Chains A and B, each alone.
Chain A
Amino acid sequence: MTSSTSADRPVVEMSGISIEFPGVKALDQVDFRLFPGEVHALMGENGAGKSTLIKALTGVYGIDAGQIVVDGAPHRFSGPGEAQDAGIATVYQEVNLCENLTVAENIMLGHEPRRLGAIDWRATRRAASDYLATMGLDLDPASSLGSHSIAIQQLVAISRAMVVDAKVLILDEPTSSLDADEVAQLFAVVRRLRDQGVAILFVSHFIEQVYEISDRMTVLRNGQRVGEYRTSELDRLELVSTMIGRSMELLDDLQVSTDHAVDVEQGTVPFLQAVGLGRKGDVQPFDLEVYAGEVVGLAGLLGSGRTEVARLLAGADRADAGSTRIKDVLTRLRNPRSAISRGIAFSSEDRKAEGVVGDLTVRENIVLGLQAGRGWMRRLPRRQVDEIVNKYMAALNVRPANPDALLRNLSGGNQQKVLLARWLATAPELLILDEPTRGIDVGAKAEIQKLVAELASQGMAVVFISAELEEVLRLSHRIGVMRDRQKVAEIVNSEDVGVDDVVTLIASGGGH
């Protein structure tokens, strides 16, 4: 099947695509092609340019340079509507259909058969059930969409794409909220469409699924195309290392001893001990111990469950399985507040949505956590506030050094430092940092890494999460390896452990 199609003319051919945002080259001379009757996976780490490429193809972003040829005709899309007219349909991670309408209405919306100017509802339902049948779905077209599971809703979204006779179907993270059976059902539909000659672009963070469904893959890194491969010719280890690359950065000179700052003696009580902690749909039950004075790294690709582990440890999400012991005392972390009062600080990966209070000043942002712990009535005395603010702004080198500046006017790196200051001001015993260095410049990154190492050497327990494996390896004493929402391995870091070893563990799922 696939061997014959590759001889065909590609249905989509993008060449030399560049898109630039202020200060960032999101896509740099990227070539991409898509053949009819194939499932093509677009792979790359977070920020590699996958979604930018998709948005260029679907007309959401205009391109600065390059050419898009669809079905032999060059196109310049100036909006999503034009891309749809050219036969490119997209199904997004979040289903954007109307839950309160029926399945038939959702599928046929805007394309309802009409009679005498009015919608012919009977014909609409019949047409909808025809489309459902071609996809092998047995659904009542008159039932309301909201009564079905997310998986079914996604399949309905795909049926809708077929109504407009799409030549290209883009599936952006379609499986992220599906369970195994639902994924199988989705894949059956995808294969059927592929065999009908539709070109399918598949984006997923689940490596196993990519290997199961795709015929070919294109790997992006830092806005550039690394290469195009046949799925059968690239093994998992090669794929992961191609995605991550080996770009050692300026930070290499940062010397952090990975020797245990404190020797974890036999019988020493860990600061935090999670036993079988888990949450359905987020992360499978895992065990994790964090001792005072050590940095525990969590490595894994995006969506591997590393963030979910952090959120459970910090009380940001409530666990529905397992237990947590803090200093050997059984403790239920019901909300972030209860975690904070027990000395756990959590800096979320989503700085903008879950960290920065933009319209408050830097000063207010720094004392927010501490003040929240005291309650509204016992306001921190002004002198103490100034002391804390000055201390941390100097220690973390926050620029501009103006505590009255609104936080939203600071750069990403400085916002991150202010958030770190907020947590350090609460004098935590365990600091959980989820992607603290993402999207910030190299200088700030080095400063934050140095700080983490120092804090641990002073006896703080740290959980450190980063997409950059080099960073995790440089800082951590122990590393938990995550994959497909499961903790698959735990290794003690030493001189002999390299990025390759961790990549192998991620790729193999700890099965070696």
Chain B
Amino acid sequence: MPATMGASTRTAGPGGLRRLAHHTIFWPVVALIALLVANTLYSPDFLAVSILDGHLFGAPIDILRNSAPLLLVSLGMTLVIATRGIDLSVGAVVAIAGALSLSFIATSPNPGSVTTVLVAIAIALGLCLLLGVWNGFLVSVVGIQPIIATLILMTAGRGVAMLITEGQITTVNSAPFKTLGAGFWLGLPAAALIAYGVYVVVALITRRTALGMLVESVGINPSASRLAGVRARTIVWTVFALSGLFSGLAGLILASNVMAADANNAGLFIELDAILAVVIGGTSLQGGKFSLSGTLVGVLIITTLTLTVTIVGISPLVTPLFKALVVIAVTLLQSPRVRERLAARQRQRVAKPEEVAA
């Protein structure tokens, strides 16, 4: 690929660029780069990374760490959306994971021991997996529409979290558990390593096994897939279970960040951010073809945007407005109709100079 680039840049350049511009994640990447450039213009050392106490520090590292929970949630959401579903319950699952793990650690005789923390993590993840299985059961076996089926847990889940924390905001001191969200490993934030590690594993599994193709097949044409012998039900069930599991992991990281189980606010509206990230990444809400790399870019855009608002000094209260603006821009650029208009205008503009040149 790089070899051909050099030789044929002049002739194939515009065509290649146009093809690149038609790639689904072209505009999201442009938006991300534009955001980073804007930040660098505002504060020139935005992209600088320094080493402090053997750890990497700087805005790019912050973005990596802050994006971890959203990346995990969006990962599950991408797979669910690819099967024509949607999972609204992820925020509630995040809250439950935090509440359960911290409450367990708080009531244990030895909050600082690694064993306690590992058991807490296992219990929380186990329950979240079960919640995902429950969602999957409602959708694939009972046949409830995904938006309604997961709405049940979205509403009930916060109540469950409240029950676990008994209405208190439980604060905990546990060094091993704090590592999850705030620790470093090999100079990098542990949270980012976990989330990006899971991302790579899922990306490999979906593309190295047949899972990705079967998920897409079910999302594109469920009845044709059934007749072809695809276990459509099992696949739908599996993606909801995974979504629950990943949301649980995100909940653990978020809880470890603040070391307090807040049943009301942990993971609030994260389902909407996750759906945004998936849509920005070019996966259609109608299901079918999905793009994990697109989702990654979408997650980075949303995280960078949140950080930008903080750096520029705008009140965090208006962050949603900025998110909305970026989303509008990216989705408009991806819409086939807008693209057609733009392409038509470009052709008009391009046509004239070419005549002159000839």
One of B204-212, B244-252, B262-270 contacting the partner: B204-212
Query: Is A348 a contact of B220 with CB atoms below 8 Å?
Result: no
A-B residue pairs, 5 tightest by C-beta: A372-B229, A372-B230, A340-B229, A376-B211, A379-B210
Cβ of A259 within 8 Å of any chain B Cβ, yes or no, is no
Query: Is B288 a contact of A336 with CB atoms below 8 Å?
Result: no
Cβ of B158 within 8 Å of any chain A Cβ, yes or no, is no
Give Cα A131–Cα B44 distance, bound, in whole angstroms.
Answer: 79
Cβ of A374 within 8 Å of any chain B Cβ, yes or no, is yes
Query: Is B231 a contact of A372 with CB atoms below 8 Å?
Result: yes
Q: Chain A's nearest CB lies how many Å from the CB of B225?
A: 7
A354-376 Cβ-contact flags toward B at 8 Å (1 or 0)? 11111110001000110111111
Residues of B in contact, count (CB < 8 Å): 22
* A354-B224, A359-B216 known; A374-B210 Cβ under 8 A: yes
> For A248, what are the chain B residues with a Cβ–Cβ distance below 8 Å?
none
> For A306, what are the chain B residues with a Cβ–Cβ distance below 8 Å?
none
Q: Which of A358, A360, A369, A376 has the most CB of B within 10 A?
A: A376
Residue of A nearest to B215 (CB): A376
Query: Is A368 a contact of B228 with CB atoms below 8 Å?
Result: yes
Query: Is B209 a contact of A316 with CB atoms below 8 Å?
Result: no
Cβ of B175 within 8 Å of any chain A Cβ, yes or no, is no
Give Cα A356–Cα B229 distance, bound, in whole angstroms.
Answer: 14
> For B217, what are the chain A residues with a Cβ–Cβ distance below 8 Å?
357, 360, 364, 368
Tell me the B223-249 residues at the A interface (CB within 8 Å): 223-231, 235
Q: Chain A's nearest CB lies how many Å from the CB of B231?
A: 7
Q: Which of A359, A364, A426 has the most CB of B within 10 A?
A: A359
Tell me the A400-447 residues at the B interface (CB within 8 Å): 422, 426
Q: Which of B211, B220, B229, B289 has the most CB of A within 10 A?
A: B229
Set B208, B209, B221, B229: member contacting A369, Cβ < 8 A:
B229
Give Cα A375–Cα B230 distance, bound, in whole angstroms.
Answer: 8
> For A359, what are the chain B residues with a Cβ–Cβ distance below 8 Å?
216, 220, 288-289
Give Cα A378–Cα B289 distance, bound, in whole angstroms.
Answer: 21
> For B209, what are the chain A residues with a Cβ–Cβ distance below 8 Å?
376-377, 379
Cβ of A76 within 8 Å of any chain B Cβ, yes or no, is no
Query: Is B229 a contact of A336 with CB atoms below 8 Å?
Result: yes
Residue of A nearest to B212 (CB): A376
> For B214, what are the chain A residues with a Cβ–Cβ distance below 8 Å?
371-372, 376
Query: Is B223 a contact of A354 with CB atoms below 8 Å?
Result: yes
Residue of B nearest to A373 (CB): B229
Cβ of A335 within 8 Å of any chain B Cβ, yes or no, is yes
Query: Is A353 a contact of B223 with CB atoms below 8 Å?
Result: yes
Query: Is A360 a contact of B213 with CB atoms below 8 Å?
Result: yes
Listed A/B pairs (27) with beta-carbon separation below 8 Å: A336-B229, A337-B229, A341-B229, A353-B221, A354-B223, A354-B224, A354-B227, A355-B227, A356-B224, A357-B216, A357-B221, A357-B224, A357-B225, A359-B216, A359-B220, A364-B213, A364-B217, A371-B210, A372-B225, A372-B228, A372-B230, A372-B231, A376-B210, A376-B211, A376-B214, A376-B235, A426-B229
Residue of B nearest to A364 (CB): B213
Interface residues, chain A, CB within 8 Å of chain B?
Answer: 314, 316, 335-337, 340-341, 346, 348, 353-360, 364, 368-369, 371-380, 422, 426
Q: Could you tell me the dominant secondary structure of chain B's interface residues?
A: helix
Residue of B nearest to A374 (CB): B210
Q: Which of A353, A355, A368, A369 has the most CB of B within 10 A?
A: A368
Give Cα A422–Cα B227 distance, bound, in whole angstroms.
Answer: 11
Set A336, A375, A378: member contacting B228, Cβ < 8 A:
A336
Residue of A nearest to B235 (CB): A376
Q: Chain B's nearest CB lies how many Å from the CB of A164?
A: 35
Residue of B nearest to A340 (CB): B229
Give Cα A155–Cα B213 distance, bound, in whole angstroms.
Answer: 47
Apart from A354-B221, A358-B221, A372-B229, 15 more pairs, CB < 8 Å: A337-B231, A340-B229, A356-B224, A357-B217, A360-B213, A364-B213, A369-B228, A371-B214, A372-B231, A373-B229, A374-B210, A375-B231, A376-B210, A376-B211, A378-B210
> For A341, what are the chain B residues with a Cβ–Cβ distance below 8 Å?
229
Query: Is B288 a contact of A422 with CB atoms below 8 Å?
Result: no
> For A379, what are the chain B residues with a Cβ–Cβ distance below 8 Å?
208-210
Query: Is A360 a contact of B227 with CB atoms below 8 Å?
Result: no
Give Cα A376–Cα B210 distance, bound, in whole angstroms.
Answer: 5
Q: Which of B213, B225, B226, B289 has the most CB of A within 10 A?
A: B213
> For B288, what are the chain A residues with a Cβ–Cβ distance below 8 Å?
359
> For A346, what are the chain B residues with a Cβ–Cβ distance below 8 Å?
227
Residue of A nearest to B288 (CB): A359
Give Cα A353–Cα B214 distance, bound, in whole angstroms.
Answer: 17
Q: Chain B's nearest CB lies how many Å from the CB of A374?
A: 7
Q: Chain B's nearest CB lies how many Å from the CB of A135?
A: 37
> For A378, what are the chain B residues with a Cβ–Cβ distance below 8 Å?
210
Give Cα A280–Cα B119 distance, bound, in whole angstroms.
Answer: 55
Q: Chain A's nearest CB lies how many Å from the CB of B201?
A: 14
Tell me the B265-309 residues at the A interface (CB within 8 Å): 288-289
Give Cα A446–Cα B176 distance, bound, in whole angstroms.
Answer: 72
Give Cα A371–Cα B230 distance, bound, in whole angstroms.
Answer: 8
Query: Is B227 a contact of A316 with CB atoms below 8 Å?
Result: yes
Tell me the B184-217 residues at the A interface (CB within 8 Å): 208-211, 213-214, 216-217
Give Cα A368–Cα B213 distance, bound, in whole angstroms.
Answer: 8
> For A335, what are the chain B residues with a Cβ–Cβ distance below 8 Å?
226
Give Cα A30–Cα B355 distance, bound, in whole angstroms.
Answer: 50
Query: Is A360 a contact of B220 with CB atoms below 8 Å?
Result: yes
> For B227, what are the chain A residues with a Cβ–Cβ distance below 8 Å?
314, 316, 336, 346, 348, 354-355
Residue of B nearest to A426 (CB): B229
Q: Chain A's nearest CB lies how many Å from the CB of B86?
A: 19
Give Cα A258–Cα B210 distance, bound, in whole angstroms.
Answer: 42
Query: Is B226 a contact of A336 with CB atoms below 8 Å?
Result: yes
Q: Chain B's nearest CB lies how many Å from the CB of A384?
A: 12
Q: Chain B's nearest CB lies how many Å from the CB of A368?
A: 5
Give Cα A430–Cα B235 distance, bound, in whole angstroms.
Answer: 27
Give Cα A45–Cα B216 distance, bound, in whole angstroms.
Answer: 36
